[in-house]
Structure 1
Amino acid sequence: MTSKFKTEPDDRYFEDYIPGAVHEFCCISVDEQEVLEFGKRYVPLSYHIDKEAAKNSINGGVIASGWHTAALMMRVYAENYLSKLANLGSPGGDELRWDKPVFPGDVLSVRATVLEARRAESRPDRGIVRTFIEVLNQKREVVMSMKMVNLSEVAMRRGKLKRSRCVLPHP
């Protein structure tokens, strides 16, 4: 079951990321010209850059680079999930998987499950949010997944900082 944030990204703080909450964000289309251009610039493999050669590949046509898929995911994730007010960046991600090919014309959505939200022990003015991200195509198939860690400012609303830590198992 999906959840809805009580705040918009412009007003979101660490406390708004609730472990167990599942958020879905729609949509971004995969444009063939962008697939070809991204491939030519960053991943010059035949199945990313050459429509004719790609017909003979195991996918039967041009597919988006996994890094292009990650960039599309990041666009949706940054616009809808990350706080515009309190985001402090990311130390990285883990367990990146490209589960299925992404084709031109696919329409992708992002599902973000908050796995953990805890205060940073050394810096109580910020929190660490661990999120399981899934990218789905229009058939609701998972085409990419990863775990991402983000840092977020804590709202100093009450003048006192309370320690919190919640951890969920991997979905």
Structure 2
Amino acid sequence: MSKYVLEDFTEGRVFDLDPYEVTKEEIVEFAKEWDPQPFHLDEEAGKGSMLGGLSASGWHLCGMMMRMICDAYLLDSTSQGSGGVNYMDWKSPVRPGDRLTGTSTVVSSRASTKKPHLGIVTIRTEVANQRGEPAAVCEHLLLCLTRKGYNEGAAA
């Protein structure tokens, strides 16, 4: 299995994210467990809110984005985790039946000064619904091994 290493995350490289189908059941299930605000649990409560209908929690959307990122490239990388999220912007409500698609674009990539076998990649992920309406924009960090670090079996 090939693994993406730091050198593969070149500035401007775009990874397409496979579509993700959102269901009412998963919206409600996530909300019951993690974000039980009424507009994430009930259609009528959602209609009475500024969201205008049942919508996924932003935190749920983060999880959906993470799944899409994992499937697109992360699970086939030398990921050593993340250095954090620079920002997260929820653009529009995500509804039952939405089909999310998106891209992850490499903003910058460099070797660590303290750990030369490790790289720091800044990635901008954008997700939209089936109508092309932006749902979220996120800029996050990826820590991954350099080619030399991977070949030598280095760990963070």
TM-score when normalising by structure 2: 0.89
Equivalent-residue separation in structure 2 for 1:98 and 1:28 (angstroms): 17
1:120 pairs with 2:105:
no
1:136 pairs with 2:133:
no
Equivalent-residue separation in structure 2 for 1:137 and 1:81 (angstroms): 21
Give the deviation of 1:133 after TM superposition.
Answer: 0.9
State the identity as a percent: 34
Structure 1 counterpart of 2:138: 146
- For the 8 Å contact 2:46–2:54, the answer to whether it is kept is yes
Structure 1 counterpart of 2:37: 45
Structure 2 counterpart of 1:31: 23
Give the deviation of 1:73 after TM superposition.
Answer: 0.3
Once the two structures are superposed, the pairs formed by residues 69-108 of structure 1 within 5 Å of their partners are 69-108=61-100
1:60 pairs with 2:75:
no
Structure 2 counterpart of 1:5: none
- CA deviations over 1:67-86 (Å, ceiling 9, x no partner): 01110000010121215351
5+ long unaligned stretches in structure 2: 152-156
| RMSD (Å), alpha carbons | 1.7
Equivalent-residue separation in structure 2 for 1:85 and 1:115 (angstroms): 17
- CA deviations over 1:14-70 (Å, ceiling 9, x no partner): 111110122221211111001011111111111000122222223331000000111
Equivalent-residue separation in structure 1 for 2:103 and 2:123 (angstroms): 10
Which one has a larger percent helix, Structure 1 or Structure 2?
2
- For the 8 Å contact 1:112–1:132, the answer to whether it is kept is yes
- CA deviations over 1:133-158 (Å, ceiling 9, x no partner): 1111111221101111011111129x
Aligned residues: 150
Runs of 4+ in structure 1 deviating by more than 3 angstroms, as ranges, are none
5+ long unaligned stretches in structure 1: 1-7, 160-171
